[in-house]
Amino acid sequence: MKHLGLAFSLLASTCLAESNWPQFRGEDGLGIGTGKPPVEFSAEKNVKWQAEVPFGHSSPCIWGDKIALTGLADGKLVTFCLNKADGRELWRVAAPASKIEGAHRIGSPAAPTCCTDGERLIAYFGSFGVLAYDWNGKELWNKPLPAPVVEFGTSSSPIIVDGKVIIVADQDVGSYLLALDVKTGAEVWRVDRSEFRRGFATPFVWKHDGMQELVVCGSLWLRSYDIKDGKQRWSARGMARVANASPVAADGVLLVSSWNVGGDEGERIEMEPFEAFAAVQDADKDGLLTLDEFPAGPIKGRYSQIDADKDGKVTKPEYEFVRGMFADAVNQIFAIKPGGSGDITNTHVVWQQSKHLPYVSSPIAVNGRVFTMKSGGLASAYDAKSGSPVYQAERVDASGDYYASAVAADGRVYVISQRGTVVVLDATSDKLNVLARNDLKAPVFASPAIVDGVIYIRTDKKLYAFAQ
């Protein structure tokens, strides 16, 4: 009977684990779901339920029988909870933000996804900071933080590891990495990242060899930190100017994708030295450059990034910093083996590919392969260990940009275009095999969640639960 009891206990634990999607991209941030979600679905087909939700780009955070999301409703940033069985709203609370931060024209001030340890639900808004609730909506603590200095708004999602809430606040001035006690909100440690500029990628906990380390994508560099105290473990060069996609891991390697404008060979953006540029463009000869003093072109289009402190005047140090970033930026997807320390660029990068890269959509690793989707609907798949292409830049006939990150379950990859087309790929095929193109006829920016055979997808106005 003892053995039978143990078996039931293990089964219950497994079922419980399969019932949750506790952070951005689910368990361990890998994007891997459970069960057998439908291949074909639409607003009229295989709909378990649908619910009207406030506007926002955060993804579902699911624990037990509840789903948490954030949004902007009636001018307030809210965290709200739905019943997983039928989509009924159970509660809604507003963050005490005195001012809503700016966001990209297609962005949202409610972009970071909530995370949970099962007992506490953590929400993060750039407009306020961090808030902790129980799953009944009662506030447990809050930690106000200054709004990040970046006009596109906050996107990096919080995660929980070893009793700590991890916040990455990469911005144009004063970037930092923060760990808070999940029970109290007290600061455990803080790491200065002022050498990094704006970034939007969610941190990743890389588990390997009986240990775990905190991996953070940043401008030009990828870094690993000790979760206990925030001490730096290693760094790797080879990132774009701005980090958007989040890493994954599989088959013993860490997989990182990074792309931004001006970093591809043949299309690199180059800036001439400040003295030469200012000699021609600094009309009032005050040694500072205003927006009007920049000629039309890709450099002027990034004036807000060059003007780090947003005072409307670019200094020589601000200009030269960004000039160096354009010169050193690398667009690639690459794999890193474990065990490094210091600068591991030349010792632990095991493969890299530099063409047909996604912009924002994070890659997913499944079945020994890593899959990516480039805007325009170009799918690629590589062997996770060697980097050898399985296929590359194959058209899926679903055009448009891709901001949502891919998820997978039951041997299939699901990735959604901004236009709302859900492309379903066969993850087991040695060539591109599109199983379905499901048009939701609504914009999608949020990454989906897959729990127990149900795929949850947030559009601009609704949250759908699709099931067989």
Structural domain boundaries in the chain = 2-260+329-466, 274-327
User: What are 255's strand-pairing partners?
Assistant: 248, 335
CA-closest candidate to residue 144, choices 105, 110, 178, 174: 178
> Could you tell me if residue 136 is left (phi over 0), alpha (psi between -120 and 50 degrees) or otherwise beta?
alpha
Q: pTM for this one? A: 0.94
For 29-47, the pLDDT digits (tens) are 999 999 999 999 999 999 9
On the question of pLDDT at 255 being above 60, the answer is: yes
The confidence score (pLDDT) of residue 266 equals 86
Helix (H) or strand (E) holding 452: none
Per-residue b/e over 154-173, b at no fewer than 16 CB within 10 Å? bbbbbbbbeebbbbbbbbbe
Spatial neighbors of 14 by CB under 8 A, at least 6 apart, are: none
The confidence score (pLDDT) of residue 7 equals 45
In 10 A of CB 184, how many CB atoms?
A: 12
For 186-217, the pLDDT digits (tens) are 999 999 999 999 999 999 999 999 999 999 99
**Stated length of the chain:** 468
For 303-326, the pLDDT digits (tens) are 999 999 999 999 999 999 999 999
Alpha-carbon Rg for the chain, nearest whole angstrom, is 22
User: What are 89's strand-pairing partners?
Assistant: 82
Indicate the Cα dihedral angle 50, 32, 239, 265, nearest 10°. -80
Contact predicate 105/97, CB 8 Å: no
- Of all residues in the chain, the percent with pLDDT exceeding 70 is 96
On the question of pLDDT at 5 being above 60, the answer is: no
* Pairing label, strands 139-144, 159-161: unpaired
Query: Distance from CA of residue 392 to its chain's centroid?
Result: 23
The confidence score (pLDDT) of residue 18 equals 52
* Pairing label, strands 221-225, 232-237: antiparallel
Mean pLDDT for 69-97 is 98
Reading the block at residue 461, the tokens are 């106005």
The confidence score (pLDDT) of residue 127 equals 98
On the question of pLDDT at 6 being above 70, the answer is: no
The confidence score (pLDDT) of residue 84 equals 98
Contact predicate 135/179, CB 8 Å: no
On the question of pLDDT at 16 being above 60, the answer is: no
What type of residue is 415?
Answer: V
On the question of pLDDT at 117 being above 90, the answer is: yes
CATH fold, domain 274-327, is Recoverin; domain 1 (1.10.238)
Helix (H, G, I), strand (E, B) or coil at 359: coil
Contact predicate 463/457, CB 8 Å: yes
Mean pLDDT for 292-308 is 95
Model confidence band, residue 265 (pLDDT cutoffs 50, 70, 90): confident
* CATH 2.130.10.10 is right for the domain spanning 2-260+329-466: yes
What is the spatial distance between Cα 48 and Cα 60, in angstroms, rounded to a whole number?
16
- 21 DSSP assignment: B
What type of residue is 385?
Answer: K
What is the spatial distance between Cα 314 and Cα 318, in angstroms, rounded to a whole number?
6
- Of all residues in the chain, the percent with pLDDT exceeding 90 is 95
User: What are 123's strand-pairing partners?
Assistant: 131
**Mean pLDDT estimate for the chain:** 95
Model confidence band, residue 19 (pLDDT cutoffs 50, 70, 90): confident
The confidence score (pLDDT) of residue 135 equals 98
CA distances from 213 to 106, 205, 225, 364, 416 (A): 33, 6, 6, 19, 30
What is the spatial distance between Cα 340 and Cα 328, in angstroms, rounded to a whole number?
22
Mean pLDDT for 132-153 is 96
Burial tier of 9 (Cβ tally within 10 Å: 0-12, 13-18, 19+): exposed
Spatial neighbors of 183 by CB under 8 A, at least 6 apart, are: 120, 163
φ, ψ at 38 (rounded to 5°) = -70, 150
The confidence score (pLDDT) of residue 379 equals 98
Which three-class secondary structure string do you get for 191-239?
EECCCCCCECCCCEEEEECCEEEEEEECCCEEEEECCCCCCEEEEEECC
Contact predicate 463/54, CB 8 Å: no
For 328-372, the pLDDT digits (tens) are 999 999 999 999 999 999 999 999 999 999 999 999 999 999 999
User: What are 213's strand-pairing partners?
Assistant: 206
